[in-house]
Structure formats: C-alpha cells, structure tokens
Amino acid sequence: MNDALNLTGRILIALLFLGGAAQKLGDPTPVSDMIASIGLPLWLVWPVAAFNLIAAVGLIFGPNVRAWALILAAYCIFTSYFHYQLRADPWQVTIMVKNWSIAGGLLILAAQGPGRYVWR
C-alpha cells in the first residue's frame, strides 16, 4: 500500500510540472511576460519548459527519483523568488506559498525514496 501511495503522490506532484510544461509550450506569453517583468531574457521560457517536462517524467518513472525530488524542491524554492517580486498581486503570493508546500512534499519524497514502483 505504501508503495502505491508513493507512486500516486509522485504522479500528482509531477502533474503540476507536466501542466507547467504544457502551458509554457502551448502559450508561452504569460510566462514570458512574467520573465520580462523582472528583467530576464524571454528565451528562458523554453529551457524551463523542457526542464519541467523532463523532471516530471523523472519524478514518475525514475531512475534517481530522490535526486529529481531534491532538484524540483530547489526549483520550487528558487522560482518563489520571482513570484515574490510580484507580491503586489495576492495571487503571486499564493503561488509562492504553494511552491514552498510542494517543495516540502518533494523533500519528504527525497528522504523516504520512491518505493518499489520505479524504473531502475
């Protein structure tokens, strides 16, 4: 049961990153606008989209689920900085706190490991 719950949790967390990749690839304008508003180059949307996609797949299937969980936790904390820059918008603060919560779950996953259901 624990291994099935672990896999289900990994899939649910990965869906967030898969959705982020799909959003960036399908309509990069909102993310590009946010990136531009804090002075970063617009082309960053593409490597971030690729990272979201690759990391989500790695989180679900492995190998190295613990490493992906740590990398994604750091990514969530790092990207919170950009949402903090837009803190005049309450929605951006909510996203920042959501990122911290996801990072917490990813750190637990990194500590506990992926269980039996992982491609090795």
Rounded CA-CA distance 21/27 in Å is 10
pLDDT tens track for 26-46: 999 999 988 888 888 999 999
- For the chain, percent of residues with pLDDT exceeding 70: 99
**DSSP string covering 12-63, please?**
HHHHHHHHHHHHHHH--HHHHHHHHHTT--GGGHHHHHHHHHHHHHHHHH-S
Mean pLDDT of the chain: 93
pLDDT tens track for 45-82: 999 999 999 999 999 998 899 999 999 999 999 989 88
